[in-house]
Amino acid sequence: MINSMCSRNGKDLFFTKIIAFGVLWALVTYSLYQFGFITMEGLKIERVLLLQKSLDPITIHAESTIESYDLEPFIDKSPNFSEDMLIDDIQKRIPNLPMIYWNKYKNPPTGLNNTCARFPSVFDLEFNNIYWQTLRTSNGTFQLFGAYLDNRPNNRLGPTVRILGMIDRIEASVITHCQFWFDSKKDPVMAKSFEYRYIWHRKWGNYKHGSYQPYLIACRLPSKFKDQVPQSVSLVEKQCDNATNNLRIVYEKPKVKKDFAVCVKGLDFLHEDLSVRLVEWIELLNLLGADKVFFYELQVHPNISKVLNHYDQKGKVHVTPISLAGGQPNAPSFQHLYLTNNPNKKRQNELIPYNDCFYKHMYEY
């Protein structure tokens, strides 16, 4: 009986070993199969990538470039602007600022004396919304945009400097003075402002204090200087005040006049692509004989900018950036919403580019 039990236990142990060996063999075989599959897939992917590299010239060029050169970031390595280059650049960007004249006379500063009517440094001017300069008086705030010499024969005032701007008064009554700066003098020439011409009609609306109104301010040149051209002008309340504004006086008088040009108010087409219609219109004006189209730009669609840049390079148009004066909004979408919902203020603001364009080019055409 003991021999029988030992024989049965030996058989059971033998079968157990056989089963264990079979399971182990199955696991080893399965593992080898999976490893071989992964290896084959990896080889396939590698072959595909190698084939792609061999057929793709861009990949070949990029890899050869990487192998041959050290990569560097693509940056502008132009030299920094000198001070003279900065002044020229500022003059182009802000044409109503007498940068070149200021640079000529900044050292030593000029004026009637050390405390009275000194020639203002550009760093002491009060700017507003980039293109405007400010005068604060005892009765209203002036936002000044441009100054122009008017010596046309039919001008009843004689040689006059007209200052274009906006005043937050409907009937400006404060007495102001012009400080004229000439190239041949180190002290200013004084003149009391002659008139405030309101270039809007009260019946058209928005006729109220506190809202900026368009004006032309006239200062006659003293008879002693009527044949000279001042370089810049500052508007002050009292003659001896040190000015917070200084405008370059525009006087462009070519020998030969051209036929005509076209002035266009501030463009406000931020989200509207009118580029194709704009091309058609510019081409039509050229066919009709317009020498140039003078645009003023508030906010425009990128495609409109491309069209304007193209014709500007051809000499067919000129674009002047402009902003709204005072506390009026200039953030792109907000500005558009403001002008859309305030048509009277929109029309009042449009008088600034129209008058600036006329007085700048009245001798050219």
| 329-352 tens-digit pLDDT | 999 999 999 999 999 999 999 999
Look-up of token digits 């919304």: 129
pLDDT band at residue 312 under the 50/70/90 scheme? very high
Summarize the confidence of residues 317-339 as an average pLDDT: 97
Alpha-carbon distance 65 to 134, whole Å?
A: 57
Summarize the confidence of residues 23-49 as an average pLDDT: 55
Give the angle subtended at the CA of 359 by the CAs of 340 and 326, to the nearest 5°: 40
pLDDT band at residue 51 under the 50/70/90 scheme? very low
pLDDT at 188: 95
Alpha-carbon distance 172 to 141, whole Å?
A: 10
The 10 Å CB-count burial string (b at 16+, else e) for 5-33 is eeeeeeeeeeeeeeeeeeeeeeeeeeeee
User: Is the model's pLDDT at 50 over the cut of 50?
Assistant: no
Q: Which of 34-43, 273-282, 302-311 has the lowest mean pLDDT?
A: 34-43
Instruction: Answer whether the bond into residue 222 is a cis peptide, omega within 30°.
Output: no
Look-up of token digits 């897939």: 41
User: Is the model's pLDDT at 48 over the cut of 60?
Assistant: no
pLDDT at 6: 43
Summarize the confidence of residues 67-89 as an average pLDDT: 84
Q: Is 288 exposed, middle or buried (0-12, 13-18, 19+ CB in 10 A)?
A: exposed
Summarize the confidence of residues 314-332 as an average pLDDT: 97
Look-up of token digits 């004229």: 180
Summarize the confidence of residues 164-179 as an average pLDDT: 95
Q: What is the mean pLDDT of the chain?
A: 87
Residue 165, token pair as written in the block: 């701007």
195 SS3 class: strand
Q: In Å, how far are 163, 192, 279 from 246, measured between CA atoms?
A: 11, 16, 38
Q: What percent of the chain is modeled with pLDDT above 90? A: 71
Do 169 and 213 form a contact (C-beta atoms < 8 A)?
A: yes
Summarize the confidence of residues 185-209 as an average pLDDT: 93
Beta-bridged to residue 300, according to DSSP, are 269
Q: How many residues does the chain have?
A: 365
Summarize the confidence of residues 299-309 as an average pLDDT: 98
pLDDT band at residue 71 under the 50/70/90 scheme? confident
Q: Is 58 exposed, middle or buried (0-12, 13-18, 19+ CB in 10 A)?
A: exposed
DSSP secondary structure string for all residues of 256-309? S--S--EEEEEEEESS---HHHHHHHHHHHHHTT-S-EEEEEEEE-HHHHHHHH
Parallel/antiparallel/unpaired status of strands 132-137 and 127-128 = antiparallel
User: Is the model's pLDDT at 323 over the cut of 60?
Assistant: yes
Q: What share of the chain is helix, strand, coil (3-state, %, to 5)?
A: 40, 20, 40
Look-up of token digits 């000129």: 318
Amino acid at 177: H
CB-CB neighbours of 250 under 10 Å: 19
pLDDT band at residue 365 under the 50/70/90 scheme? very high
User: Is the model's pLDDT at 295 over the cut of 80?
Assistant: yes
User: Is the model's pLDDT at 3 over the cut of 80?
Assistant: no
Alpha-carbon distance 177 to 325, whole Å?
A: 22
| 226-273 tens-digit pLDDT | 999 999 999 999 999 999 999 999 999 999 999 999 999 999 999 999
pLDDT at 20: 65
Q: Which of 67-81, 85-99, 311-325 has the lowest mean pLDDT?
A: 67-81
pLDDT at 31: 62
CB-CB neighbours of 229 under 10 Å: 16
| 98-142 tens-digit pLDDT | 999 999 888 876 888 888 999 999 999 999 999 999 999 999 999
Q: Which of 69-73, 207-211, 259-263 has the lowest mean pLDDT?
A: 69-73
Domain boundaries of the chain, sorted by first residue: 2-68, 93-250, 262-361
